[in-house]
Chain A
């Protein structure tokens, strides 16, 4: 319980299926790479876009089947992007200096502080004592924590790193560790992953990509989306999805056996209560950690006022940087550099995923793919409800092929708005529901920053992530389609579900 390290050790294949996937994944990735590389060139596609797609698909197969550790696949991808002339050396290398990589690095220093000062342990024990008598309540407590944090901290990576130490300690109390992951652990990490991502769609300030979508709807669609417009459409979908996943996850996807329903620490709950009591009042080091974390949290929560207060915006990575300076300050800080648990393998994995994603965007491959997909459908011949289902489904599942919400928004939203106009539908009727899915990036460990961070705990496989993530997206899609026929229509967002294009 005292230990919270993010191991670089590759995860062992656990089942026969996983071993076969590893064995066949390597040649499978190469076969897909060669197939795409040697396909007759699409007229709208540059050679760099074609080779970039081939490289990304190879990496995607390898990330999913794991013949190599994921960070080695990232390094292979970065090398392939260079030698296929998809990207130049500089943009590939520059990804390691991206804001998101810095945020991850600095947030891990803050996370190490919570562990070293035992503040994480205290908070976890408190959580278990109050809510953790049963696994289901412990999981629900985390949904509530993520729900409370979502409107306060827009940076999903920050929210993830803040709660990660709690997740690891609570999972270990329920018998799930890196060496012996169990279904409680899978539910714990994947439910939190879903919570961090999906609950960002509650408000339009939940992520910067949401705001970009609102900008597109206003500038191209001619409709202003107000805070409450977004919230009354997005909040019910996100909250109901999380409640469904809380139930479905532990009952159907990863059923928690009776033995894992209660804390598995020797001595049981009384021991945990005793440990919590034995920690006594907050130590001076814990108070310092709390104060430093409070400063960072305050800066994360008040970013919209920074320009007014300080004349400069202190973005999330710089707020974390200030926190890291305070944490590492000689004598007055709480941590020495060698005590910070920085998972470099995770940063390399992220860098590779971003380099691949950016290459798809920069070469125009992603945009070309979306146009081909929508261009091949005759949406004029089908009722609104069917067009809505197709467009929202494409938007929802397209996150599996990108690594950036912003890029996906910039590519998809203008196309959806233009298509709505061409079909004679109000752009809001398709663009707003599509925008609500921007943050639902839960399908793969490369789909978003929290995904990368949580995957590094080695408590679930890529397949586990895929299974859970696809279920989350499908539940969300079904709720969105049902809402289009009812709730969205009643509040004036969508026309009649069976209306035909004019």
Chain B
């Protein structure tokens, strides 16, 4: 009787002692080509118990050519079905350290023309604007500790503005939700969010434009300055002094 009671207490305690699996890092780097297609490379660091199965939500909804580039020894992966939003990973049988998984895929429409108005219809933003919409929902039970998506624009493009960044930055967060940066002459935007539980989501909408400045500003500015210097020269006329 005493043994049975001890056994049942142990049974109750075991799930509490084993830490649930979690994705401690989920980093996606999406490089966008001038034609609007993109190539995404993802790196995951997964911590959990031996042979534990983890459902990993994919960071993009529409994708093609899913490829595994690198995986920790013993990590087993069931590649996602076409149009699937998640895939399954089984951790190594003797997992002592967090496992690492790197995979990549193509995104057919990462970067779309912002507005396709009918000929003659009113445009609300410039015709050459491109919009980059990104949204992610943690559809699975696995907690994601640190989620980051870095989107790099094609050369010759520049972000006009961050139109949306959600969820809003909280008081305890130092960094904004989306930070702009750059590398090798290409501008990028980094979206980050910590501790995504099932159902938590994050998104950004960015507007990009070809990086060129109209000379109209220069012409108008110089002309106005010249006109003012001529028209208002009485302000500093000698007889006023």
Residues of A within 8 A of B (CB): 13, 16, 19-20, 22-23, 26-27, 30-31, 33-34, 37-38, 41, 43-49, 67, 85, 215-216, 219-220, 363-364, 367, 414-415, 417-418
> Are A47 and B174 interface neighbours, CB within 8 A?
no
CB neighbours of B225 from chain A (8 A)? 26-27, 30-31
| Nearest opposing residue in chain B for A363, CB measure | B161
Given contacts A23-B233, A27-B229, A38-B213, contact A364 B221 (CB under 8 A): no
> Are B174 and A220 interface neighbours, CB within 8 A?
yes
Interface: B176 (CB within 8 A):
yes
Interface: B180 (CB within 8 A):
yes
| A417 to B171 CA separation, bound complex (whole angstroms) | 12
CB neighbours of B218 from chain A (8 A)? 34, 38
Closest 6 CB pairs of A and B: A43-B182, A27-B225, A48-B161, A30-B221, A23-B235, A46-B159
| A37 to B222 CA separation, bound complex (whole angstroms) | 14
Interface: B102 (CB within 8 A):
no
| A382 to B172 CA separation, bound complex (whole angstroms) | 28
Interface: B167 (CB within 8 A):
no
CB neighbours of B221 from chain A (8 A)? 30-31, 33-34
Q: List, sorted by A's number, 24 A–B pairs whose CB atoms are closer than 8 Å.
A: A13-B235, A19-B236, A19-B240, A20-B235, A23-B232, A23-B236, A26-B228, A26-B232, A27-B229, A30-B221, A31-B221, A44-B179, A46-B158, A46-B180, A47-B209, A47-B211, A67-B232, A216-B171, A219-B172, A220-B174, A363-B161, A367-B176, A415-B174, A418-B174
| A220 to B232 CA separation, bound complex (whole angstroms) | 54
CB neighbours of A48 from chain B (8 A)? 160-161
| A216 to B170 CA separation, bound complex (whole angstroms) | 11
CB neighbours of A30 from chain B (8 A)? 221-222, 224-225
Interface: B181 (CB within 8 A):
yes
Given contacts A41-B211, A43-B182, A414-B174, contact A22 B235 (CB under 8 A): yes
The prevalent SS among residues of A at the interface is helix
CB neighbours of B162 from chain A (8 A)? 46, 364
CB neighbours of B161 from chain A (8 A)? 46-49, 85, 363
> Are B174 and A41 interface neighbours, CB within 8 A?
no
> Are B235 and A44 interface neighbours, CB within 8 A?
no
* Least distance between B111 CB and chain A CB atoms (Å): 16
> Are B176 and A44 interface neighbours, CB within 8 A?
no
Q: List B residues 74-128 near A (Cβ within 8 Å).
A: 126
CB neighbours of B232 from chain A (8 A)? 22-23, 26, 67
| Nearest opposing residue in chain B for A212, CB measure | B171
8 more A-B residue pairs beyond the given contacts A23-B232, A23-B233, A364-B162, with a C-beta to C-beta distance below 8 A: A16-B241, A26-B229, A43-B181, A43-B187, A45-B180, A47-B160, A67-B232, A220-B172
Given contacts A48-B160, A220-B174, A414-B174, contact A34 B217 (CB under 8 A): yes
Q: List B residues 181-206 near A (Cβ within 8 Å).
A: 181-183, 187
| A33 to B217 CA separation, bound complex (whole angstroms) | 9
| A182 to B235 CA separation, bound complex (whole angstroms) | 23
CB neighbours of B217 from chain A (8 A)? 33-34, 37-38
| A364 to B176 CA separation, bound complex (whole angstroms) | 9
The prevalent SS among residues of B at the interface is mixed
| Chain B count of residues within 8 A CB distance of the other chain | 33
| Nearest opposing residue in chain A for B124, CB measure | A88
Among B176, B209, B213, the one with the most A-chain Cβ atoms within 10 Å of its Cβ is: B213
* Least distance between B226 CB and chain A CB atoms (Å): 8
> Are A41 and B181 interface neighbours, CB within 8 A?
no
Of A23, A34, A215, A418, the residue contacting B171 (CB under 8 A) is A215
CB neighbours of B228 from chain A (8 A)? 26-27, 67
CB neighbours of A418 from chain B (8 A)? 174
* Least distance between B36 CB and chain A CB atoms (Å): 19
| A49 to B179 CA separation, bound complex (whole angstroms) | 13
* Least distance between B180 CB and chain A CB atoms (Å): 5
CB neighbours of A364 from chain B (8 A)? 162, 176, 180
| A463 to B225 CA separation, bound complex (whole angstroms) | 23
CB neighbours of B211 from chain A (8 A)? 41, 47
| A53 to B137 CA separation, bound complex (whole angstroms) | 35
CB neighbours of A44 from chain B (8 A)? 179-182
| A239 to B40 CA separation, bound complex (whole angstroms) | 59
* Least distance between B205 CB and chain A CB atoms (Å): 13
CB neighbours of B171 from chain A (8 A)? 215-216, 219-220
CB neighbours of A219 from chain B (8 A)? 171-172
> Are B235 and A41 interface neighbours, CB within 8 A?
no
CB neighbours of B233 from chain A (8 A)? 23
| Nearest opposing residue in chain B for A87, CB measure | B161
| A41 to B158 CA separation, bound complex (whole angstroms) | 9
> Are B174 and A43 interface neighbours, CB within 8 A?
no
* Least distance between B72 CB and chain A CB atoms (Å): 32
CB neighbours of A414 from chain B (8 A)? 174
* Least distance between A368 CB and chain B CB atoms (Å): 8
* Least distance between A45 CB and chain B CB atoms (Å): 7
Of A27, A38, A41, the residue contacting B187 (CB under 8 A) is A41
| Nearest opposing residue in chain A for B209, CB measure | A47
Could you give, for residues 139-158 of chain B, a 1 whenever the CB lies within 8 Å of some chain A CB and a 0 otherwise? Answer: 00000000000000000001
